[in-house]
Structure 1
């Protein structure tokens, strides 16, 4: 059972809980944001809030999928078949000329099929003879025709509530003439990095200081996820300054902090969360890297306190923050967990569950995970080029090449 604990006077609901329990706590507190209607050009990476019905057939007419000649094929046609060319139909034009037996129309990819024609023969299977064409390989009736409504019929539900608007989905709506769509509002997310050791990019770096990378990394991840981002200037390890910085983020839907989440004398974030009126729901989740992650709540706003170690902060984000964002944005699908085979060894063993960063290698229809990076919690370079988090159970022992474990994708929001 999770422990109840009080730290520095801050009441903690649960400590050192499993990832599954942490996700349960997170998702119980999250609900989808409000709905707005946006033009199609602003719909990328949004989530559908109302089913979308096709307002028309697609295609809206019988059309050719290739360049060639349209004619009325008969089951008894023999090669070679010579026809008179009576019209030419470029894409975007319409011909009223009805095709009779012994006739054909020159036609192009996307062109509407003329009246009387029931097939299209590929240009490569023909030979042009002035105003006539010789068909060396006649085709059967209905060959090479995309019929009206074959892709989508008027009234079909083409996108459902919770569907993600990828570029392909937006393109589908455009092909149907849909101008605007109802979507869930973008989450507005605040970022605060803390730590007296931090300096901003562009400033001199005195001894003992490091540049603040977490703000830049998290901002990129949040923008990639389709969020609006508000960044508070980072603060040193000062309780009052940290509380004031958190107050500047109270116009957001969710807050992410990094640093100050561990057990040292200068780890102040839990006290700061209490100082702005948060209830602390949990502290410490039983996995590495990033064990000292915490979650607070004030009203409907969640406050995620992530590890200050750069790679650990990204793992915290992937495992806990991103699922919350998906639900805030109205996603109805669950993130996928799938089997992977190890493409290299990992020599460490430990009592805690561990998530290894790895490249995905596709081999014989299977996903292999290459963990040949430094795996330390502060090694941000290990996240660059990583596609997977590989789940190594607690007490597992060293990981062997060829071993089968469970993995999940990093960063990109895969489509349903």
Structure 2
């Protein structure tokens, strides 16, 4: 068995960012930028009024009341062709460019007007209610860095920077294959010795949530012929993910059949719980990640190893998992040589401390426990017993996906 950290590094070393493709701005949400998005213009392009009121020279309204002569007006989308001189003002509206000669705006509520005479009742300093040119961004500024999943806010910024299309990483294609004669699809007639497939659907959901394209290959039976038939559907994927093996032993059939077909096995079994029987290798040009058959083991391993691989494929930064500190909500026993990931709930006590309370049962078949979990409590190999109130590391879960 190899340590979790070593398994992670060996998996990540097999991947590199996918090629870029161009998508329309409206299709960019959630996609990962393949290059910096650099502004094509300056925003605002000139000094603009931030309020409805009067464009003035601050020097003319330092002492109030001060009466000025209105020489024109400028709505948004137009500009004043003249220049504001001493004792003059221009009626201005929000978003309109500041006329030459003016350096401040007096809001209309602070004025009185009669004909072309405008009396300013409150003084304003230079730049008051003025948005200077480039205060938001300037041409050539990096607005959105490469390797960032685009949010709705990013889409708005890219549009403001005058980008109708974007270069993003191609979405990773992930082929997912469940194995086992005992596995049937949801809704099919259930025999006395059969179980409903859940792993493939959970992994597909995780892949989609991370920005990938899940390709559900179905369920392969416990024969070499069946396995080889279904695996053909993943030959053009960026990664093939299998779940479970044969009744003779976890992954024995998958490993042997793929090995006979030329798979180069990197490692098999890691020192963690749940998830010891994890396999990783390469079949031709396609990396193969073999997940355990137990539902919880499968999902925990996908969170720890598949998500970072997808991030690498999409050109995103790879850091350590976002581990946080919390206080234990119940005591836990001494750990053995395997790194433990205990499903737990999170709460906040009266003093603001984050409390992680592991579920009493940590059986790797209990999907209800995983669905209710808010985090995984990380217990290092050979960790001593810990009592309620002791500090521990946790991996927060968000909608079933770690917020890497």
Q: TM-score range by the shorter chain?
A: 0.7 to 0.9
Pair 1:170–1:382, CA change in 2 (3 A): farther
Partner of 1:271: 256
How far apart are the structure 2 equivalents of 1:408 and 1:247?
36
1:97 shift after superposition: 5.9
Partner of 2:341: 355
3-state SS in 1 of match to 2:30:
coil
Report which stretch shifted further, 194-203 or 134-143.
Answer: 134-143
* 1:141 maps onto 2:126 in alignment: yes
Match of 1:395 among 382, 387, 391: 382
Pair 1:147–1:276, CA change in 2 (3 A): farther
Pair 1:95–1:297, CA change in 2 (3 A): same
How far apart are the structure 1 equivalents of 2:71 and 2:350?
52
Partner of 1:12: none
1:18-33 equivalence runs, <5 A: 18-33=3-18
1:208-234 deviation per Cα after TM superposition (whole angstroms, max 9, x unaligned): 433212222111111111112211111
* 1:107 maps onto 2:93 in alignment: yes
1:275-332 deviation per Cα after TM superposition (whole angstroms, max 9, x unaligned): 4321111111111111211112123321111122222222111111111111111123
Partner of 2:177: 192
* 1:126 maps onto 2:113 in alignment: no
How far apart are the structure 2 equivalents of 1:392 and 1:95?
69
1:35 shift after superposition: 2.3
3-state SS in 2 of match to 1:105:
strand
Partner of 1:6: none
Pair 1:89–1:201, CA change in 2 (3 A): farther
Partner of 2:315: 330
How far apart are the structure 2 equivalents of 1:266 and 1:163?
36
Q: TM-score, normalised by structure 2?
A: 0.84
Give the gaps of 5 or more residues in structure 2: none
Partner of 1:291: 276
3-state SS in 2 of match to 1:216:
helix
Partner of 2:298: 313
1:115-264 equivalence runs, <5 A: 115-121=100-106, 126=110, 137-260=122-245, 264=249
How far apart are the structure 1 equivalents of 2:346 and 2:49?
40
Partner of 1:379: 366
Pair 1:73–1:264, CA change in 2 (3 A): same
Q: 1:296–1:304: 8 Å Cα contact kept in structure 2?
A: yes
How far apart are the structure 2 equivalents of 1:73 and 1:363?
55
1:250 shift after superposition: 0.7
1:43-65 deviation per Cα after TM superposition (whole angstroms, max 9, x unaligned): 33233333333211122232344
Partner of 1:370: 356
Q: 2:395–2:402: 8 Å Cα contact kept in structure 1?
A: no
Pair 1:366–1:301, CA change in 2 (3 A): farther
How far apart are the structure 1 equivalents of 2:350 and 2:19?
44
Partner of 1:5: none
How far apart are the structure 1 equivalents of 2:67 and 2:319?
58
Q: 2:262–2:283: 8 Å Cα contact kept in structure 1?
A: yes
Larger-Rg structure: 2
How far apart are the structure 2 equivalents of 1:355 and 1:65?
53
Give the gaps of 5 or more residues in structure 1: 1-15
Pair 1:258–1:91, CA change in 2 (3 A): farther
1:247-269 deviation per Cα after TM superposition (whole angstroms, max 9, x unaligned): 22111110111112897378522
